[in-house]
Amino acid sequence: SGWFQRLSKDECTFINGTERVKYVERLIYNREQLLHFDSDVGHYVGDTPYGEIQARYWNSDSVYMERKRAAVDTYCRHNYEGFNPHLTER
């Protein structure tokens, strides 16, 4: 009743090392996914009416979208290099 939860979840999927990488960001408010960014699609997709408005706003910002599209390299592949030895040894 007196609190709200906002969650941003970033996911990287690796196929055959870093040969094929997919980046997904999910924006969730009170357990409902509002919108998401999928690197395969290349832009935000609204999952609710409010999420559609927010997706249109972010998709219209070319500088912001260029950074999101680059996240496959700057976030996923970058972190893979650091975490890979620990993950593949298990």
Q: Report pLDDT digits (tens) over 14-39.
A: 888 778 999 999 999 999 999 999 99
Residue 34 near residue 27, CB atoms below 8 Å: yes
Residues β-bridged to residue 14: 21
The domains of the chain, with CATH numbers, are 6-83 (3.10.320.10)
pTM: 0.82
User: pLDDT for 41-87, tens place per residue?
Assistant: 999 999 999 999 999 999 999 999 999 999 998 988 888 776 666 66
Helix axes 62-71 and 49-59, enclosed angle (nearest 10): 100
